[in-house]
Amino acid sequence: MNAYDSMVAQKLNALKSKRDVIVLAIETSCDETAAAVVKNGRQVLSSIVYSQIPIHQKYGGVVPEIASRNHVQKLTPTVEQALADAGLTFSDIDAVAVTAYPGLVGALLTGVSYAKGLAYSLSLPLIGVDHIMGHVAANYLSHEELAPPFTALVASGGHSHIFAVNDYLDFELLGSTRDDAAGEAFDKIARVLGLAYPGGPELEKLAAKGDPGAFVFPMGFNSGKGLDFSFSGLKTAVINILHTAKQRGELINEADIAASFQAAVVSVLTQKAIMAVKQQNSRVLALAGGVSANKTLVSSLENAAREAGISFVCPEWKYCGDNAAMIGCAGYYSLLAGQADGLDLNATARRDRSR
Protein backbone atom coordinates (compact mmCIF):
# COMPACT_ATOMS: atom_id res chain seq x y z
CA MET A 1 0.00 0.00 0.00
CA ASN A 2 1.48 3.40 -0.99
CA ALA A 3 1.42 6.50 1.24
CA TYR A 4 -1.71 7.92 -0.44
CA ASP A 5 -3.64 4.64 -0.14
CA SER A 6 -2.84 4.26 3.55
CA MET A 7 -3.81 7.90 4.29
CA VAL A 8 -7.11 7.32 2.47
CA ALA A 9 -7.75 4.08 4.36
CA GLN A 10 -7.30 5.99 7.64
CA LYS A 11 -9.60 8.82 6.48
CA LEU A 12 -12.30 6.40 5.33
CA ASN A 13 -12.19 4.84 8.76
CA ALA A 14 -12.35 8.21 10.52
CA LEU A 15 -15.35 9.25 8.39
CA LYS A 16 -17.45 6.47 9.96
CA SER A 17 -17.65 8.45 13.19
CA LYS A 18 -17.59 11.97 11.71
CA ARG A 19 -20.81 13.92 12.20
CA ASP A 20 -20.76 15.89 8.97
CA VAL A 21 -19.27 14.55 5.75
CA ILE A 22 -18.47 17.16 3.11
CA VAL A 23 -18.04 16.02 -0.50
CA LEU A 24 -16.62 18.19 -3.26
CA ALA A 25 -18.08 16.97 -6.55
CA ILE A 26 -17.08 17.52 -10.16
CA GLU A 27 -19.04 16.83 -13.36
CA THR A 28 -17.64 17.19 -16.90
CA SER A 29 -19.29 14.35 -18.84
CA CYS A 30 -20.66 16.51 -21.67
CA ASP A 31 -20.99 20.27 -22.15
CA GLU A 32 -21.42 21.48 -18.57
CA THR A 33 -18.46 22.18 -16.29
CA ALA A 34 -19.94 21.74 -12.84
CA ALA A 35 -18.72 21.69 -9.25
CA ALA A 36 -20.66 21.41 -6.00
CA VAL A 37 -20.19 21.00 -2.28
CA VAL A 38 -22.63 18.59 -0.64
CA LYS A 39 -23.02 17.94 3.10
CA ASN A 40 -24.14 14.53 4.34
CA GLY A 41 -25.30 13.50 0.88
CA ARG A 42 -28.40 15.63 0.65
CA GLN A 43 -27.62 19.18 1.73
CA VAL A 44 -26.31 21.22 -1.19
CA LEU A 45 -23.98 23.91 0.17
CA SER A 46 -23.17 25.18 -3.34
CA SER A 47 -23.72 24.14 -6.94
CA ILE A 48 -22.05 25.86 -9.87
CA VAL A 49 -22.91 24.90 -13.45
CA TYR A 50 -21.00 26.58 -16.23
CA SER A 51 -22.85 25.71 -19.44
CA GLN A 52 -21.00 25.59 -22.75
CA ILE A 53 -24.25 25.68 -24.74
CA PRO A 54 -23.53 29.09 -26.35
CA ILE A 55 -20.14 27.77 -27.52
CA HIS A 56 -21.56 24.63 -29.18
CA GLN A 57 -24.75 26.21 -30.50
CA LYS A 58 -23.19 27.40 -33.75
CA TYR A 59 -22.21 23.78 -34.58
CA GLY A 60 -25.73 22.47 -33.89
CA GLY A 61 -24.44 20.02 -31.28
CA VAL A 62 -21.61 19.30 -28.83
CA VAL A 63 -18.13 19.21 -30.40
CA PRO A 64 -16.22 16.85 -28.07
CA GLU A 65 -12.77 18.39 -28.50
CA ILE A 66 -14.09 21.90 -27.87
CA ALA A 67 -15.98 20.63 -24.81
CA SER A 68 -12.79 19.11 -23.35
CA ARG A 69 -10.75 22.29 -23.91
CA ASN A 70 -13.38 24.42 -22.22
CA HIS A 71 -13.60 22.06 -19.26
CA VAL A 72 -9.84 22.41 -18.78
CA GLN A 73 -10.18 26.20 -18.77
CA LYS A 74 -13.21 26.33 -16.50
CA LEU A 75 -12.52 23.59 -13.96
CA THR A 76 -10.35 25.63 -11.58
CA PRO A 77 -12.62 28.73 -11.43
CA THR A 78 -15.74 26.55 -11.14
CA VAL A 79 -14.34 24.53 -8.22
CA GLU A 80 -13.06 27.71 -6.52
CA GLN A 81 -16.48 29.32 -6.91
CA ALA A 82 -18.21 26.24 -5.46
CA LEU A 83 -15.94 26.36 -2.40
CA ALA A 84 -16.39 30.13 -2.01
CA ASP A 85 -20.20 29.86 -2.28
CA ALA A 86 -20.18 27.15 0.39
CA GLY A 87 -17.99 29.37 2.58
CA LEU A 88 -15.41 26.58 2.82
CA THR A 89 -11.80 25.89 1.87
CA PHE A 90 -10.09 22.74 0.59
CA SER A 91 -9.20 21.81 4.18
CA ASP A 92 -12.94 21.37 5.00
CA ILE A 93 -13.44 18.72 2.31
CA ASP A 94 -13.68 15.03 3.28
CA ALA A 95 -13.77 13.42 -0.18
CA VAL A 96 -13.70 14.22 -3.90
CA ALA A 97 -16.41 12.70 -6.13
CA VAL A 98 -16.22 12.88 -9.92
CA THR A 99 -18.27 11.58 -12.84
CA ALA A 100 -16.14 8.82 -14.36
CA TYR A 101 -18.63 7.30 -16.86
CA PRO A 102 -20.61 7.30 -19.15
CA GLY A 103 -20.12 10.32 -21.38
CA LEU A 104 -17.70 11.90 -23.84
CA VAL A 105 -14.44 10.26 -22.86
CA GLY A 106 -12.24 13.31 -23.46
CA ALA A 107 -14.59 15.51 -21.47
CA LEU A 108 -14.80 12.97 -18.63
CA LEU A 109 -11.01 12.68 -18.54
CA THR A 110 -10.60 16.38 -17.77
CA GLY A 111 -12.75 16.06 -14.63
CA VAL A 112 -11.28 12.71 -13.59
CA SER A 113 -7.69 14.00 -13.97
CA TYR A 114 -8.51 17.16 -12.04
CA ALA A 115 -10.22 15.20 -9.25
CA LYS A 116 -7.31 12.77 -9.03
CA GLY A 117 -4.85 15.65 -8.68
CA LEU A 118 -6.99 17.19 -5.97
CA ALA A 119 -7.51 13.92 -4.08
CA TYR A 120 -3.80 13.10 -4.22
CA SER A 121 -2.60 16.54 -3.13
CA LEU A 122 -5.12 16.70 -0.26
CA SER A 123 -4.83 12.98 0.62
CA LEU A 124 -8.59 12.59 0.26
CA PRO A 125 -10.70 9.61 -0.83
CA LEU A 126 -11.56 9.72 -4.53
CA ILE A 127 -14.93 8.43 -5.72
CA GLY A 128 -15.69 7.74 -9.37
CA VAL A 129 -19.42 8.18 -9.91
CA ASP A 130 -21.74 6.72 -12.56
CA HIS A 131 -23.40 9.72 -14.24
CA ILE A 132 -26.71 7.86 -14.56
CA MET A 133 -26.75 6.96 -10.86
CA GLY A 134 -26.00 10.64 -10.32
CA HIS A 135 -29.12 11.68 -12.25
CA VAL A 136 -31.24 9.34 -10.11
CA ALA A 137 -29.60 10.76 -6.96
CA ALA A 138 -30.78 14.25 -8.02
CA ASN A 139 -34.14 13.11 -6.63
CA TYR A 140 -32.65 12.67 -3.13
CA LEU A 141 -31.68 16.35 -3.19
CA SER A 142 -35.24 17.43 -3.88
CA HIS A 143 -37.15 14.83 -1.82
CA GLU A 144 -35.65 14.31 1.61
CA GLU A 145 -37.97 11.39 2.44
CA LEU A 146 -37.07 9.45 -0.73
CA ALA A 147 -35.14 6.22 -0.18
CA PRO A 148 -34.81 2.98 -2.17
CA PRO A 149 -36.43 0.76 -3.25
CA PHE A 150 -38.20 2.48 -6.16
CA THR A 151 -38.41 2.39 -9.94
CA ALA A 152 -36.49 5.03 -11.90
CA LEU A 153 -36.91 6.27 -15.44
CA VAL A 154 -33.76 8.05 -16.62
CA ALA A 155 -34.27 10.06 -19.79
CA SER A 156 -31.27 12.10 -20.84
CA GLY A 157 -29.45 13.12 -24.00
CA GLY A 158 -27.28 10.02 -24.10
CA HIS A 159 -29.33 7.46 -22.17
CA SER A 160 -32.86 6.27 -21.59
CA HIS A 161 -33.17 3.50 -19.04
CA ILE A 162 -35.65 2.03 -16.60
CA PHE A 163 -34.10 0.72 -13.38
CA ALA A 164 -35.19 -1.06 -10.27
CA VAL A 165 -33.28 0.97 -7.67
CA ASN A 166 -33.02 -1.76 -5.02
CA ASP A 167 -30.60 0.23 -2.88
CA TYR A 168 -28.47 3.36 -3.16
CA LEU A 169 -25.77 1.45 -5.03
CA ASP A 170 -27.82 -1.47 -6.34
CA PHE A 171 -29.36 -0.64 -9.73
CA GLU A 172 -30.99 -3.36 -11.82
CA LEU A 173 -31.55 -2.50 -15.49
CA LEU A 174 -35.13 -3.42 -16.45
CA GLY A 175 -35.36 -1.85 -19.89
CA SER A 176 -33.79 0.72 -22.15
CA THR A 177 -33.95 2.28 -25.57
CA ARG A 178 -32.73 0.06 -28.38
CA ASP A 179 -31.50 3.07 -30.35
CA ASP A 180 -31.85 6.79 -29.65
CA ALA A 181 -32.11 8.19 -26.15
CA ALA A 182 -35.22 10.32 -25.54
CA GLY A 183 -33.24 13.59 -25.39
CA GLU A 184 -31.31 12.60 -28.50
CA ALA A 185 -34.59 12.06 -30.38
CA PHE A 186 -35.81 15.50 -29.20
CA ASP A 187 -32.53 17.08 -30.33
CA LYS A 188 -32.59 15.39 -33.76
CA ILE A 189 -36.18 16.34 -34.55
CA ALA A 190 -35.57 19.87 -33.27
CA ARG A 191 -32.62 20.14 -35.63
CA VAL A 192 -34.75 19.05 -38.62
CA LEU A 193 -37.27 21.71 -37.56
CA GLY A 194 -34.47 24.29 -37.61
CA LEU A 195 -34.49 24.87 -33.84
CA ALA A 196 -31.37 25.80 -31.86
CA TYR A 197 -29.27 23.30 -29.88
CA PRO A 198 -30.09 21.81 -27.39
CA GLY A 199 -33.34 21.05 -29.13
CA GLY A 200 -35.35 19.52 -26.26
CA PRO A 201 -36.41 22.75 -24.53
CA GLU A 202 -36.96 24.54 -27.88
CA LEU A 203 -39.10 21.70 -29.19
CA GLU A 204 -41.14 21.74 -25.99
CA LYS A 205 -41.82 25.48 -26.50
CA LEU A 206 -42.91 24.92 -30.12
CA ALA A 207 -45.04 21.92 -29.12
CA ALA A 208 -46.97 24.10 -26.66
CA LYS A 209 -48.43 25.95 -29.68
CA GLY A 210 -49.44 22.77 -31.55
CA ASP A 211 -52.04 20.02 -31.50
CA PRO A 212 -50.66 16.73 -30.09
CA GLY A 213 -53.38 14.80 -31.93
CA ALA A 214 -52.66 16.30 -35.36
CA PHE A 215 -50.38 13.45 -36.47
CA VAL A 216 -50.36 9.85 -35.34
CA PHE A 217 -46.78 8.62 -35.22
CA PRO A 218 -45.53 5.05 -34.62
CA MET A 219 -44.56 4.24 -31.04
CA GLY A 220 -41.70 1.77 -30.87
CA PHE A 221 -42.28 -1.44 -28.89
CA ASN A 222 -45.22 0.23 -27.24
CA SER A 223 -47.60 -2.69 -27.23
CA GLY A 224 -44.91 -5.26 -26.41
CA LYS A 225 -44.67 -6.76 -22.93
CA GLY A 226 -40.95 -6.03 -22.66
CA LEU A 227 -39.64 -2.86 -21.10
CA ASP A 228 -37.32 -1.91 -23.99
CA PHE A 229 -38.42 0.82 -26.34
CA SER A 230 -37.23 2.52 -29.51
CA PHE A 231 -37.41 5.98 -31.00
CA SER A 232 -35.86 5.41 -34.44
CA GLY A 233 -39.16 4.51 -36.19
CA LEU A 234 -40.82 7.58 -34.72
CA LYS A 235 -37.88 9.78 -35.72
CA THR A 236 -37.92 8.43 -39.31
CA ALA A 237 -41.70 8.94 -39.58
CA VAL A 238 -41.42 12.58 -38.49
CA ILE A 239 -38.49 13.27 -40.85
CA ASN A 240 -40.35 11.60 -43.77
CA ILE A 241 -43.43 13.77 -43.27
CA LEU A 242 -41.31 16.92 -43.17
CA HIS A 243 -39.26 15.93 -46.26
CA THR A 244 -42.31 14.91 -48.29
CA ALA A 245 -44.05 18.20 -47.51
CA LYS A 246 -40.92 20.11 -48.49
CA GLN A 247 -40.56 18.21 -51.80
CA ARG A 248 -44.21 18.89 -52.66
CA GLY A 249 -43.87 22.52 -51.64
CA GLU A 250 -46.66 22.03 -49.10
CA LEU A 251 -46.83 24.08 -45.92
CA ILE A 252 -46.85 21.98 -42.77
CA ASN A 253 -47.74 23.12 -39.27
CA GLU A 254 -44.44 22.61 -37.44
CA ALA A 255 -45.98 23.21 -34.03
CA ASP A 256 -48.41 20.31 -34.71
CA ILE A 257 -45.46 18.11 -35.73
CA ALA A 258 -43.56 19.04 -32.55
CA ALA A 259 -46.61 18.47 -30.33
CA SER A 260 -47.45 15.10 -31.94
CA PHE A 261 -43.82 13.94 -31.76
CA GLN A 262 -43.57 14.95 -28.10
CA ALA A 263 -46.87 13.18 -27.35
CA ALA A 264 -45.52 9.96 -28.89
CA VAL A 265 -42.26 10.08 -26.87
CA VAL A 266 -44.14 10.88 -23.68
CA SER A 267 -46.65 8.08 -24.30
CA VAL A 268 -43.93 5.45 -24.83
CA LEU A 269 -41.97 6.52 -21.75
CA THR A 270 -45.09 6.70 -19.59
CA GLN A 271 -46.43 3.30 -20.63
CA LYS A 272 -43.08 1.54 -20.17
CA ALA A 273 -42.39 3.23 -16.82
CA ILE A 274 -45.82 2.26 -15.45
CA MET A 275 -45.39 -1.27 -16.79
CA ALA A 276 -42.08 -1.48 -14.88
CA VAL A 277 -43.64 -0.13 -11.69
CA LYS A 278 -46.38 -2.78 -11.88
CA GLN A 279 -43.92 -5.60 -12.61
CA GLN A 280 -41.80 -4.51 -9.64
CA ASN A 281 -44.72 -3.78 -7.33
CA SER A 282 -43.05 -0.44 -6.62
CA ARG A 283 -44.60 2.23 -4.45
CA VAL A 284 -42.63 5.05 -6.05
CA LEU A 285 -41.67 6.09 -9.58
CA ALA A 286 -38.78 8.56 -9.94
CA LEU A 287 -37.96 10.45 -13.12
CA ALA A 288 -34.43 11.73 -13.79
CA GLY A 289 -32.16 13.08 -16.54
CA GLY A 290 -32.29 16.20 -18.71
CA VAL A 291 -35.68 15.29 -20.26
CA SER A 292 -37.24 15.41 -16.76
CA ALA A 293 -37.38 19.18 -17.38
CA ASN A 294 -40.16 18.45 -19.92
CA LYS A 295 -43.49 19.51 -18.36
CA THR A 296 -45.62 17.29 -20.62
CA LEU A 297 -43.61 14.23 -19.60
CA VAL A 298 -43.79 15.16 -15.92
CA SER A 299 -47.57 15.68 -15.95
CA SER A 300 -48.16 12.49 -17.94
CA LEU A 301 -46.11 10.44 -15.43
CA GLU A 302 -47.77 12.25 -12.52
CA ASN A 303 -51.23 11.35 -13.83
CA ALA A 304 -50.30 7.76 -14.67
CA ALA A 305 -48.71 7.29 -11.22
CA ARG A 306 -51.83 8.68 -9.53
CA GLU A 307 -54.02 6.27 -11.51
CA ALA A 308 -51.72 3.39 -10.53
CA GLY A 309 -51.94 4.47 -6.87
CA ILE A 310 -48.24 5.18 -6.45
CA SER A 311 -46.10 8.24 -5.70
CA PHE A 312 -44.20 10.12 -8.36
CA VAL A 313 -41.09 12.25 -7.86
CA CYS A 314 -38.81 14.22 -10.14
CA PRO A 315 -35.90 16.56 -9.40
CA GLU A 316 -36.28 20.31 -9.03
CA TRP A 317 -35.61 22.00 -12.37
CA LYS A 318 -32.07 23.08 -11.37
CA TYR A 319 -31.09 19.41 -10.81
CA CYS A 320 -32.75 17.96 -13.95
CA GLY A 321 -29.86 18.65 -16.31
CA ASP A 322 -26.20 17.92 -15.70
CA ASN A 323 -24.90 19.27 -12.39
CA ALA A 324 -22.34 18.27 -9.77
CA ALA A 325 -24.65 18.32 -6.73
CA MET A 326 -26.23 15.04 -7.89
CA ILE A 327 -22.71 13.56 -8.29
CA GLY A 328 -21.84 14.64 -4.74
CA CYS A 329 -25.00 12.94 -3.47
CA ALA A 330 -24.34 9.68 -5.33
CA GLY A 331 -20.67 9.81 -4.27
CA TYR A 332 -21.67 10.20 -0.63
CA TYR A 333 -23.54 6.88 -0.69
CA SER A 334 -20.46 5.15 -2.14
CA LEU A 335 -18.41 6.72 0.61
CA LEU A 336 -20.90 5.50 3.24
CA ALA A 337 -20.43 1.99 1.87
CA GLY A 338 -16.66 2.44 2.24
CA GLN A 339 -16.16 2.42 -1.52
CA ALA A 340 -13.38 4.64 -2.83
CA ASP A 341 -11.38 4.45 -6.04
CA GLY A 342 -7.62 4.34 -6.40
CA LEU A 343 -5.59 6.80 -8.42
CA ASP A 344 -5.88 4.34 -11.31
CA LEU A 345 -9.52 5.49 -11.75
CA ASN A 346 -10.16 5.91 -15.46
CA ALA A 347 -12.90 7.58 -17.51
CA THR A 348 -14.95 5.40 -19.85
CA ALA A 349 -17.50 6.35 -22.49
CA ARG A 350 -19.85 3.49 -21.66
CA ARG A 351 -21.73 2.42 -18.57
CA ASP A 352 -20.77 -1.17 -19.08
CA ARG A 353 -17.11 -0.71 -18.21
CA SER A 354 -16.18 -4.27 -19.19
CA ARG A 355 -16.69 -3.44 -22.89
Cα–chain center distance at 250: 39
Q: Closest-CB residue for ligand KG4?
A: 290
Within 287-346, the residues that bind ligand KG4 by CB under 6 A are 289-291, 293-294, 321-322
Q: Which is nearer to ligand KG4, 122 or 258 (CB)?
A: 258
Bridge partners (DSSP) of residue 126 are 96, 341
Residue type, 334: S
Q: Which is nearer to ligand KG4, 53 or 147 (CB)?
A: 53
Give the one residue of 94, 130, 322, 341 binding Zn ion; rule: CB under 5 A.
322
- Buried residues in 69-87 as b, exposed as e (16+ CB within 10 A): bbbbebbeebbeebbeebe
Question: Is 50 in a helix, a strand, or coil?
Answer: strand
H or E element at residue 69: helix 64-86
Q: Which is nearer to ligand KG4, 49 or 93 (CB)?
A: 49
Which of these ranges, 36-44, 81-89, 165-173, 178-186, lies near ligand KG4 under the rule CB under 6 A?
178-186
Which of these ranges, 55-63, 121-129, 150-158, 300-308, lies near Zn ion under the rule CB under 5 A?
150-158
Asked whether position 180 contacts Zn ion by CB under 5 A, the answer is no
Asked whether position 152 contacts ligand KG4 by CB under 6 A, the answer is no
Q: Where are the beta strands (DSSP E) in 180-283?
A: none
Asked whether position 199 contacts ligand KG4 by CB under 6 A, the answer is yes
The rounded distance, in Å, linking the Cα atoms of 245 and 320 is 35
Give the one residue of 27, 94, 130, 204 binding ligand KG4; rule: CB under 6 A.
204
Q: Quick check: 330 and 85 in contact, CB under 8 A?
A: no
Q: Quick check: 183 and 229 in contact, CB under 8 A?
A: no
Determine whether 257 is exposed, middle or buried from the number of CB atoms within 10 Å of its CB (0-12, 13-18, 19+).
Answer: buried
Q: Contact residues for ligand KG4 (CB under 6 A)? A: 30, 156-158, 183-184, 186-187, 198-201, 204, 289-291, 293-294, 321-322
Q: Contact residues for Zn ion (CB under 5 A)? A: 156, 322
